[in-house]
């Protein structure tokens, strides 16, 4: 059997589809599984070991991915995307079994591309479970229960690239990753609060610090401000909270890494602290200790769910969120206090000491 999975959304969506892809591979070990992605996420393909081949759609890719869909002789298409572009790719494949989730049926013209619509509430399901629902619709009867958790397998070349980058920036000890940036300005946390968290991790826990982020000017401005402050941030801590070990080194790597190298850095991190953005899903897929800050977005659909993850929502900012509901309203990021974030990082580092 030849299966084409279409996931043309963003990085987080691709990572959260990996559980569904793994379920397909386990159920159909002899199948040829092709994954179609968008150009912006293609560099992560090397970490998805469930697939046999891939198609990449985007600017400069021309007719090639469409030709691959047309000539791939696919038996089944699973469209995890539900856009006009993915519907066209599904229709072009001429596969005898083309499936997507039920909400796509509301788009009359788009819905003509499919044969089956799988019931799965995008509102009531975590995104991992929502994608797994579609994959499970073609699993053989009696298949064992599938796990929807995301997973990535970092290739050796990316691990070597990350190790080289750390060495060049003088990172020799266990390190924390701070990833303040995001594509949405309303998800930014205040820079001075990131500075206090950075100071606590370096000056009390003795961790080196790696700052990551994209090339967007707003993201770079924030990470640059954190890196430039350096030891001046000691003023944000009272004397009785200063550490025994020397303050950790700061490496400013924002804008310097591709997705695979970033994932390799995450895999090595003692802890990852970030706002609600793609690195949340990388850390979740690699089961790293993490603190994820959510503001306007409801974490119900996107939260990391492993036992080393803690979610702080601006809607209920006093403690990590434990009761997740699809009807939780968002709130401004400035409601999250520095004290709450530092308290949670301390608990995680005590539970899972760096080493």
- Whole-number pLDDT of residue 265: 98
- Whole-number pLDDT of residue 116: 97
Instruction: Label residue 238 by pLDDT band (50, 70, 90).
Output: very low
Alpha carbon of 217 to those of 213, 238, 277: distances in Å? Answer: 10, 33, 16
242 pLDDT higher than 90: no
Q: What is the mean pLDDT of the chain?
A: 92
- Whole-number pLDDT of residue 182: 86
Q: Tokens in use for 152?
A: 């990535």
Between 235 and 110, name the one with better pLDDT: 110
Place domain 2-136 in its CATH homologous superfamily.
Answer: Glycogen Phosphorylase B; (3.40.50.2000)
Q: Tokens in use for 114?
A: 């499919």
pLDDT digits (tens, 9 = 90+) for 182-193: 888 899 999 999
Burial class (CB within 10 angstroms; exposed 0-12, middle 13-18, buried 19+) of 271: buried
pLDDT digits (tens, 9 = 90+) for 302-320: 999 999 999 999 999 989 9
- Whole-number pLDDT of residue 6: 98
Cα 171 from chain centroid (whole Å): 24
- Whole-number pLDDT of residue 230: 60
42 pLDDT higher than 70: yes
- Whole-number pLDDT of residue 355: 77
Q: What is the largest CA-CA distance in the chain?
A: 69
Answer whether 2-136 and 156-351 agree in fold. Answer: yes
Share of residues in the chain with pLDDT > 70 (%) = 95
Spatial CA neighbour of 273 closest among 224, 310, 225, 229: 310
pLDDT digits (tens, 9 = 90+) for 170-217: 999 999 999 998 888 899 999 999 999 999 998 888 899 999 998 888
- Whole-number pLDDT of residue 181: 86
pLDDT digits (tens, 9 = 90+) for 62-87: 999 999 999 999 999 999 999 999 99
Half-sphere CA count of 101, side-chain side, radius 13 A:
22
- Coil, helix or strand at residue 26: helix
Between 284 and 185, name the one with better pLDDT: 284
CATH number of the domain located at residue range(s) 156-351 in this protein: 3.40.50.2000
Q: Tokens in use for 39?
A: 């150009």
Domain ranges across the chain: 2-136, 156-351
60 pLDDT higher than 90: no
- Whole-number pLDDT of residue 283: 98
Strands (E) located in 20-82:
32-38, 53-57, 76-79
231 pLDDT higher than 60: no
């Amino acid at each position: 059997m030849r299966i084409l999975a279409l996931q043309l959304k963003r990085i987080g969506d691709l990572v959260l589809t990996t559980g569904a892809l793994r379920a397909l591979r386990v159920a159909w070990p002899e199948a040829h599984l092709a994954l179609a992605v968008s150009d912006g996420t293609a560099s992560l393909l090397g970490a998805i070991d469930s697939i046999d081949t891939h198609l990449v759609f985007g600017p400069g890719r021309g007719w090639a991915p469409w030709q691959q869909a047309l000539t791939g002789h696919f038996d089944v298409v699973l469209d995890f995307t539900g856009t006009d572009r993915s519907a066209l790719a599904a229709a072009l494949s001429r596969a005898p079994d083309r499936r997507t989730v039920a909400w796509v049926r509301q788009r009359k013209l788009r819905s003509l591309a499919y044969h089956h619509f799988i019931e799965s509430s995008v509102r009531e399901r975590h995104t991992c479970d929502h994608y797994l629902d579609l994959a499970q619709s073609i699993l053989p009867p009696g298949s064992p229960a599938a796990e929807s958790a995301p997973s990535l397998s970092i290739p050796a070349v990316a691990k070597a690239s990350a190790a080289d980058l750390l060495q060049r920036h003088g990172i020799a000890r266990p390190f924390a990753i701070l990833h303040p940036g995001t594509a949405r300005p309303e998800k930014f946390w205040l820079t001075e609060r990131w500075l206090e968290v950075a100071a606590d991790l370096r000056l009390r826990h003795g961790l080196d610090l790696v700052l990551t982020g994209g090339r967007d000017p707003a993201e770079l401005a924030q990470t640059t401000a954190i890196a430039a402050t350096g030891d001046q941030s000691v003023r944000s801590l009272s004397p009785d909270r200063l550490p025994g070990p020397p303050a950790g080194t700061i490496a400013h790597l924002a804008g310097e890494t591709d997705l695979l190298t970033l994932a390799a850095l995450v895999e090595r991190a003692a802890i990852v602290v970030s706002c609600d953005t793609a690195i949340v899903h990388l850390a979740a897929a690699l089961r790293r200790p993490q603190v994820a800050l959510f503001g306007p977005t409801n974490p119900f659909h996107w939260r990391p769910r492993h036992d080393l993850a803690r979610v702080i929502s601006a809607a209920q900012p006093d403690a990590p969120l434990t009761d997740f509901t699809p009807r939780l309203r968002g709130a401004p990021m400035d409601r999250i206090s520095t004290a709450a974030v530092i308290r949670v990082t301390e608990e995680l580092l005590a539970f899972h000491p760096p080493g």
